[in-house]
Structure 1
Amino acid sequence: MDAAQWDERYRASAGGVWASEPPAVVREIADTLRPGTAIDVATGDGRTALGLSARGWAVTGVDFSAEALGIAAARPGGDAVTWVRADVHAWEPVASADLVVSCYLHLHDNAAAIARVAGWVGVGGTLVVVGHDVENIAAGGHGPSDPAILYTPELLRGALDERFRIERCERVVRGTGDAELRGGHTHAAIDTLLHAVRVR
């Protein structure tokens, strides 16, 4: 989907598409870190950016949908986040960040896109990527059905270079209590998680 299609989806959503809380695994990792600066890539209607901001992070939320960003900015705490309308392929932050998070960004150049956003992490900072795994199709979980845009641990691991130490890169099962969509979903889902630290 392009930006116009996402704008239409958000316009039709009556208040937002995604759940109100960041994914549980993102909360778990972020809660082990000292809050600093964070970039939420493909922030959508803001659940991860707002969740991090509420935990003390200075957050920039980036998305190419103006409608999504409008919903995010209007939510409680939305005025504490810097919202940027931009494409991940073109935007560059003014400074590196202590934490870069990408949740459910699925593109035909996934590895290149993740490598690009990894470059936004400062030395000593953390990268967290979570998205639908290719095995999610057979599992019947919510998400894209095109395997060409889905993740595997091998794909995400291969997106990083020697500047990063990988803490975790694995498939994780996300239960119905950790819903991606507003209103929840009835099936467990299989995601790929990458958690890495930039060491140089």
Structure 2
Amino acid sequence: MDAAQWDERYRASAGGVWATQPPAVVREITATLPPGTAIDVATGDGRTALWLAERGWDCTGVDFSSAGLALAAARPGGDAVRWTPGDVLEWQPEAQVDLVVSCYLHLPDSAAAVARVAEWVAPGGTLLVLGHDVDNIAAGGHGPSDPAILYTPDLLRGALDDRFRIERCERVVRASGDAELRDGQHAAAIDTLLHAVRVR
């Protein structure tokens, strides 16, 4: 989907597309980190950026959908985040940050996109990527059905060089209570998680 299609989807939604909380594994990992500067890549209607800001992070939410960013800014606490229009393949931050989070960003060359946003992580900082795994199709979980844009642990692991120490890179099962969508679709799903720390 391009920016215009996402704008249409966000404008048609009542209060936003995604669940109000970030995925459980994202909350679990980021809750252990000391707050600093953060970028939420493809923030959509802002759930992860808002959650981070509530916990003291100086957060920028980036997305190419102006309608998604408008929804995010209108949500409670929306004035605590810098909402920035930008395409992940073109936008560049002014400085590296302590945390880069990317949830469910699927592109024809996802490995290149992950490698690009990894450059935004400062030495000592954390990269956290979560998205639909290719095995999610057979499992019947919600999400894209094109295997060419879905993740595997090998794909995400291969996107990083030796400047990163990989803490976790694995398939994770999203439980039925950890909904991705706001409309209450609670089917379990298979995601791929990458949690890495930049060592230099």
- TM-score, normalised to structure 2, is 0.99
Structure 1 letter corresponding to 2:19: A
Distance 1:186 1:103 in 2: 17
**Aligned partner of 2:161: which letter?**
D
- The equivalent of 1:137 in structure 2 is 137
| 1:118-167 deviations in Å (ceiling 9; x for gaps) | 00000000000000000000001000000000000000000000100000
Counterpart for residue 192 of structure 2: 192
Kept after mapping to 1: 8 A contact 2:97/2:125: yes
User: May I ask how many residue pairs the two structures share in their alignment?
Assistant: 200
**Structural RMSD (CA):** 0.5
Match of 1:181 in 2: 181
Which stretch has the larger CA shift, 62-71 or 183-192?
A: 183-192
Residue deviations 1:22-64 (CA, integer Å, cap 9, x gap) = 1111111111110000000000000000011111101000000
CA distance in 2 between partners of 1:80 and 1:103 (Å): 20
* Structure 1 segments of 4+ aligned residues over 6 angstroms from their partners: none
5+ unaligned residues in a row in structure 2: which ranges? Answer: none
The aligned counterpart of 1:112 is 112
Distance in 2, matches of 1:194 and 1:68, equals: 25
Q: Which ranges in structure 1 are unaligned for 5 or more consecutive residues?
A: none
Q: How far 1:186 moved relative to its partner?
A: 3.2
Distance 1:171 1:106 in 2: 16
**What corresponds to 1:11 in structure 2?**
11
Percent same amino acid among aligned pairs?
Answer: 79
Structure 2 partner of 1:41: 41
Alignment partner, residue 78 of structure 1: 78
Structure 2 Cα separation of the partners of residues 51 and 4 of structure 1: 26
The separation in 1 between residues aligned to 2:34 and 2:186, in whole angstroms, is: 34
CA separation in 2, counterparts of 1:125 and 1:3? 29
Deviation of 1:79 (Å): 0.2
Counterpart residue type for residue 154 of structure 2: E
Point out the more displaced range, 183-192 or 125-134: 183-192
Instruction: State the shift of 1:183 in Å.
Output: 2.6
Letter of the 2:138 counterpart: A
- 3-state DSSP of counterpart to 1:84: strand
Please report the TM-score for the alignment, with normalisation by the length of structure 1. 0.99
> What is the alpha-carbon distance in structure 1 between the residues aligned to residue 10 and residue 34 of structure 2?
33
Aligned to 2:102: 102
Structure 2 counterpart of 1:104, one-letter code: Y
Q: Secondary structure at 2:179's aligned position in 1?
A: coil
Is the Cα contact below 8 Å between 1:20 and 1:47 reproduced in 2? yes
Q: Residue 126 of structure 1 contacts residue 195 of structure 1 at CA under 8 Å; is this kept in 2? A: yes
Partner Cα distance (2:182, 2:109) in 1:
27
Paired position in structure 2 for 1:123: 123
- Matched with 1:162 is 162
Indicate the SS of the match to 2:49: helix
SS at match of 2:172: strand
